[in-house]
Amino acid sequence: MSTLQGLLISSIDGLIKFINESYEFRIAKTNIHNILLLQKEPQFLINYSKKIKSIQFKNVYLFFDAKPIFNDLNLMINEPVFLSARNASGKSTLIKSIIKRQLLSSGEIFINEMDINKYSNQWLLNNVIYLSDQKSNVELSNEW
């Protein structure tokens, strides 16, 4: 292998490492941002004891890295549902938007006909459940 080839391979390896670290940094930044959002929750938000009877998405638009995830989503859910779809189709994003971990570009989400922003984050976390099909779902961990 020539010196030039070695230098090129080393540079490519460095670039791949940088891309992976950048991706991990972005995930960590998002997690920190979400934690800070939870801590900034106003005390006046309602903590309802009643169960979820309906979830409604009204004219919801959501973009991630300029890519449309939801484009004018209008959906009414009146019972527990099982979401099954291909990877990167928006299942996790849908749940994150319900629990206010993913901000919408526009539109509204209602639980029991009340805007989700009127519910406390703690109530949402206690009442909306997402079980992924990933192996990490069954491992003991505090991460989510």
Q: Is 82 buried (19+), middle (13-18) or exposed (0-12) by CB count in 10 A?
A: exposed
> 65 to each of 68, 100, 105, 138, how far by Cα in Å?
8, 18, 12, 30
Residues 6+ apart with CB under 8 A from 120: 41, 45, 46, 47
Q: Is the pLDDT of residue 19 over 70?
A: yes
List the single range of 8-12, 22-26, 43-47 with lowest mean pLDDT: 43-47
List the single range of 4-18, 21-35, 37-51, 53-67 with lowest mean pLDDT: 37-51
Q: Indicate yes or no: pTM above 0.75.
A: no
Q: How confident is the model at residue 58 (pLDDT cuts 50, 70, 90)?
A: very high
Distance CA 84, CA 81 (A): 10
What's the length of the chain?
144
Across the range 81-103, mean pLDDT stands at 85
Distance CA 140, CA 143 (A): 9
Strand partners, 63: 68
- Higher model confidence: residue 32 or residue 63? 63
Q: Which two tokens stand for residue 38?
A: 């939870």
